[in-house]
Amino acid sequence: MTLAFDWGEFLGRPAVEANPSLAGGSVAGKSVLITGAGGSIGSGLARAVLAGGPRTLVLLDVSEGGLYECLRALANASRTVVVPVVGSVGDERLLTNTMRRRGVELALHAAAYKHVPLMERNPFAAVMNNAVGTYRLVRAAGEAGVSRLTMVSTDKAVNPRSVMGASKRIAELAALSHSTEECRINAIRLGNVLGSSGSVAPIFAEQLGLGLPLTVSDPQATRYFLTPEEAQGAILIAAGSGVAGKILVADCGEPRRVVELARFLGKRFGCAEPRVEYVGLRAGDKLFEELVAEPEETISGEISGLRVVDSPHPNRSETIAGIERVAAAADKFDLDDLLAAIAELVPSYEASSALAGERILLEAI
């Protein structure tokens, strides 16, 4: 469901409009790869990148349907060669071959499993796709001669309480530890992208359409929000920045209470006082999110509104060893080993109680 609203009233600040020049400065004349191109963030990013006039645009997604819809939505009136590739970021041979054949210079990594409660029930899939997949991508990019890679991360990677958040923090570690002068890698942390697939705004819109109460976890639950255009702009600015081996943090303004979003959408759908039902925090949810962790240091100065953060991380060999332990545990479907391996890489991670129930289910098989 597409939600076309002026989000400024809800955000409490003017929403930043799309700036076509951002794409031109980052991608013009280049061969660009977008992973997760079939998702809502990836497909929007594909449209923005195409407008910047790349030489080649390679679109990778494991979902055939999502990739097909992304292609249908692209109005390619330029001379850009658009190359759709059905495949996973976990397929290192495919990644290396594709990037070499297409001469990829810039990779924008948006592929991820992002639904927190669903990934709590599927921890092995979460780490293999988000963490191990990112590790294989950055390794393939280095081998294929890619000069820049920007990984899309999330505020949920900060002091994670979910497997999804922990898997994205490990993905950050893979990106930061593999950044070199030849292949300059950064991560860009976003908040909740309004209207993106599976996010809370389309769920509220669906509930309003069906006359159902709007389900909110907690009256005090807050999140950082930004519009799709702001997310795309932040990713493109990060891709064109001169820094490497850093985390860039998008300007999301002040956090907003989720119930305020419910009431904002209620008014937009003609319901002055929508019914709100508080259902409690879901498995892996936090009452509030953070954009920067306590050990991290914000470097003085900004890059077009993005904060530059120096994030302490293990060196490359330590990161590789840790990720290989994570992959080995997932390959064995050993939840105890997996949680231990995650904790070594992400000491701030606290597993949710839902994983105890998942362990019981696994032991019963």
The full length of the chain comes to 365
CA-to-CA distance for 307 and 34, rounded, in angstroms? 23
Residue type, 279: V
CA-to-CA distance for 262 and 276, rounded, in angstroms? 8
Pairing state between β 192-193 and 256-257 = unpaired
Residue type, 343: A
Identify the active-site residue in 156, 168, 246, 286.
Answer: 156
CA-to-CA distance for 121 and 293, rounded, in angstroms? 26
Tokens 């280095």, residue located: 142
Tokens 């991508």, residue located: 137
CA-to-CA distance for 56 and 162, rounded, in angstroms? 37
Tokens 């953070």, residue located: 290
* Torsion sign (Cα): 194, 198, 199, 200: positive
Catalytic residue status for 246? no
Instruction: Tell me if 185 sits within 8 A of 244, measured CB to CB.
Output: yes
Catalytic residues: 156
